[in-house]
Amino acid sequence: MSRNVSVVSRTRTDTRERVLTAGLRLFTRHGYFNTTTHDIARESRVSIGAIYHHFRDKEGIARGVYTMLLERMVDIIQDIHRLHSSTHDRCRALMAVLFKLAEEEPEAMEFMLHAKHREFLPTETPVCSSKPFAMMRDFVREGAQRGEIRAIDPMVASVSLFGGAIRMIIARLDGVVERALPEYLDEVWACGWRAVAP
Amino acid sequence: MSRNVSVVSRTRTDTRERVLTAGLRLFTRHGYFNTTTHDIARESRVSIGAIYHHFRDKEGIARGVYTMLLERMVDIIQDIHRLHSSTHDRCRALMAVLFKLAEEEPEAMEFMLHAKHREFLPTETPVCSSKPFAMMRDFVREGAQRGEIRAIDPMVASVSLFGGAIRMIIARLDGVVERALPEYLDEVWACGWRAVAP
DNA sequence: TTGATGAGAACGAATGCTCGTTCTAGTATA
DNA sequence: TATACTAGAACGAGCATTCGTTCTCATCAA
């Protein structure tokens, strides 16, 4: 529509986004409870008043960060679903993306994987029952139906296929792994696939 | 006001232990930052003053809980090492113990695995570079040297063998898995071993 | 036995500070 | 003008920690 409206909404979402970005960085780096709203104001260069104009409370910021990341993740997984047809290719592409993301946006990864959200987002479901994880399990379940992976408990198949990768990411984020994750992709994938291949 | 009229007077280590037990329960159930020292006092039936007599500060309690659990874990792993000689048997025994522990002492498991200690124990190393995890990796490394598992990066082998089990435990603690973990042991183990067997 | 002594342990009200939130005043945009 | 947004000072509830006091008990002298 008119240019003016778009300008306003851009500034508006811009402020929101700055707060979310600062929140993500600070929450990840120091933890939710070691981050004050004033820290976020300073880091985002948005005033306290503006923050409370956009978010109900501190928890609202965390919730905003969390859903932003989850939605992004869901998009990525849907793309993968669209782009590949076999279970093997889908899961492998997913693992590759996870490794890449962990290197490019370690803070986002850490926030999604490592943070124990229930401690400060009591109403959210735990990460591993969140949508992205459920979609991951759906990949596997479908694969089992099609006979592309062995007929075992779907949950077991899912953690066996991706568990190694996720532990690897966590280890990397904790500084226990030295080389970049994509360098390990082939080996980790081979192990995961062996675990569930028919 | 007569208090502590019990026949057997409380011993020093008894008080300490009560605080640690209460701390473990509350930290796990509500999180470190949602637990006040007064909550711990109430739960442990130890006065605030007594708590501060035994621990330097709140963080000291958390550190106490953490090291208590790690030490217990190290003992368990050493026992396993003594009792079994092959890599296969050792790792399988370890997985069985982890599943059993997760059912019997979910709070202890959760504290060790799930809590992001660095948020409130800034000086501690992250869990996955702690002694128990290192010992787990040593099992695997030794297995690779002996040719009992494939010649792949030891870190990759380790996360591939145990990653599924650990994810399974986390899922179980989060309420995503319905049946008791030991029921899944055979399947999870088979998957893990397939991933790294020569 | 009785009583005195001291040290470690336990007590909990009081303190003081931190930090999430509110409020009033101000500026830009439509 | 009205609406949307921003600013940052001020507030006050909540919480970790302190500290002066009390309790318990082993030891030993008388």
> Is B4 part of any domain?
no
Question: Is the Cβ atom of B6 within 7 Å of strand D at any atom?
Answer: no
Percentage of chain A beyond pLDDT 70 is 93
pLDDT for position A122: 75
pLDDT for position A124: 78
> Which residue carries 């010649």 as its tokens?
B151
Distance CA B134, CA B139 (A): 9
CATH number of the domain enclosing B184: 1.10.357.10
**Looking at the complex, does the CB of residue B196 fall below 8 Å from at least one CB of chain A?**
yes
Q: Which of A31, A129, A176 sits opposite B119 (nearest CB)?
A: A31
The least confident of A15-24, A102-111, A125-134, B136-145 is A125-134
pLDDT for position B11: 58
Q: What is the DSSP string of A95-149?
A: HHHHHHHHHH-HHHHHHHHTS-GGGT-TTSPPGGGSHHHHHHHHHHHHHHHTTSS
Residues B43, B139 within the same domain: no
pLDDT for position A11: 63
The least confident of A7-16, A141-150, A151-160, B164-173 is A7-16
Residues B184, B99 within the same domain: yes
For residues B160 and B189, the answer to whether their CB atoms sit within 8 Å is: no
Residues A82, A38 within the same domain: no
The least confident of B16-25, B30-39, B106-115 is B106-115
Separation of CA B102 from chain center: 9
**Looking at the complex, does the CB of residue A126 fall below 8 Å from at least one CB of chain B?**
yes
Domain end marker among A13, A29, A55: A55
For residues B191 and A152, the answer to whether their CB atoms sit within 8 Å is: yes
Per DSSP, A90 falls in state H
Q: Tell me the C-alpha to C-alpha distance, in Å, between residue B48 and each of A47, B13, B38, B40.
A: 39, 16, 7, 8
Chain A residues in contact with B34 by the CB 8 A cut-off are 119
pLDDT for position B129: 76
- The candidate with the shortest Cα–Cα distance to A45, out of A81, A9, A78, A21, is A21
**Mean pLDDT score, B91-109:** 97
Position with higher pLDDT, B118 vs A71: A71
Q: How many other β-carbons are positioned within 10 Å of the β-carbon of residue A36?
A: 12
Q: Which of B116, B155, B168 sits opposite A171 (nearest CB)?
A: B155
Which residue of chain A comes nearest to B186, CA vs CA? Answer: A156
Residues B144, B186 within the same domain: yes
- The distance of A5 to chain B (nearest Cα, Å) reads 42
Residues B37, B102 within the same domain: no
Separation of CA B67 from chain center: 10
**Mean pLDDT score, A116-135:** 80
Residues A89, A179 within the same domain: yes
Residues B83, B49 within the same domain: no
Residue B72 in this model has a pLDDT that exceeds 90: yes
- The candidate with the shortest Cα–Cα distance to A163, out of B120, B167, B77, B18, is B167
User: Across the interface, do B184 and A119 touch by the CB < 8 Å criterion?
Assistant: no
User: Across the interface, do A31 and B177 touch by the CB < 8 Å criterion?
Assistant: no
Residue A69 in this model has a pLDDT that exceeds 50: yes
CATH number of the domain enclosing A42: 1.10.10.60
> Which residue carries 């570079």 as its tokens?
B129
Q: List all residues of chain A from 135 to 154 with a beta carbon under 8 Å from chain B.
A: 152-153
Q: Which two tokens stand for residue A42?
A: 């300073």
Residues A65, A113 within the same domain: yes
Residues A140, A181 within the same domain: yes
Residues A101, A180 within the same domain: yes
Q: List all residues of chain A from 152 to 181 with a beta carbon under 8 Å from chain B.
A: 152-153, 155-157, 159-160, 162-168, 170-171, 174-177
Residue A129 in this model has a pLDDT that exceeds 80: no
> Is B16 part of any domain?
yes
Residues A125, A76 within the same domain: yes
How many CB contacts within 8 angstroms connect chain A with chain B? Answer: 135
Per DSSP, B148 falls in state S
Residue A188 in this model has a pLDDT that exceeds 90: yes
- The candidate with the shortest Cα–Cα distance to B195, out of A166, A194, A188, is A194
**Mean pLDDT score, A51-64:** 94
Q: Show which positions of strand D are touched by protein (CB under 7 A).
A: 4-10, 14-20, 23-25
Q: Tell me the C-alpha to C-alpha distance, in Å, between residue A128 and each of A125, A155, B176.
A: 8, 11, 8
Question: Could you tell me the pLDDT band of residue B95, with boundaries at 50, 70 and 90?
Answer: very high
Long-range contacts of A36-42 (CB under 8 A, 24+ apart): A37/A61
Parent domain of B21: 11-55
**Residues 127-146, chain B: which have Cβ under 7 A from strand D?**
none
Q: What is the C-alpha end-to-end distance of chain B, expressed in Å?
A: 71
- The candidate with the shortest Cα–Cα distance to A198, out of A156, A162, A159, A146, is A146
For residues B73 and B132, the answer to whether their CB atoms sit within 8 Å is: yes
Distance CA A41, CA A28 (A): 16
Residue A2 in this model has a pLDDT that exceeds 50: no
Q: Show which positions of strand C are touched by protein (CB under 7 A).
A: 8-14, 18-25, 29-30
Chain B residues in contact with A132 by the CB 8 A cut-off are none
pLDDT in tens, A170-180: 999 989 999 99
- The distance of A165 to chain B (nearest Cα, Å) reads 8
**Mean pLDDT score, A9-37:** 87
Question: Could you tell me the pLDDT band of residue A7, with boundaries at 50, 70 and 90?
Answer: very low
pLDDT for position B12: 60
pLDDT in tens, B34-46: 999 999 999 999 9
Angle at A63 between CA A41 and CA A95, to 5 degrees: 110
Which residue of chain A comes nearest to B181, CA vs CA? Answer: A156
Distance CA B154, CA A171 (A): 13
Per DSSP, A57 falls in state S
Residues A149, A70 within the same domain: yes
Chain A residues in contact with B31 by the CB 8 A cut-off are 116, 118-120
pLDDT in tens, A87-114: 999 999 999 999 999 999 999 999 988 7
Distance CA A181, CA A172 (A): 7
Distance CA B171, CA A136 (A): 14
pLDDT in tens, B147-192: 999 999 999 999 999 999 999 999 999 899 999 999 999 999 999 9
For residues A140 and B152, the answer to whether their CB atoms sit within 8 Å is: no
> Is B102 part of any domain?
yes
Overall domain count for chain A: 2
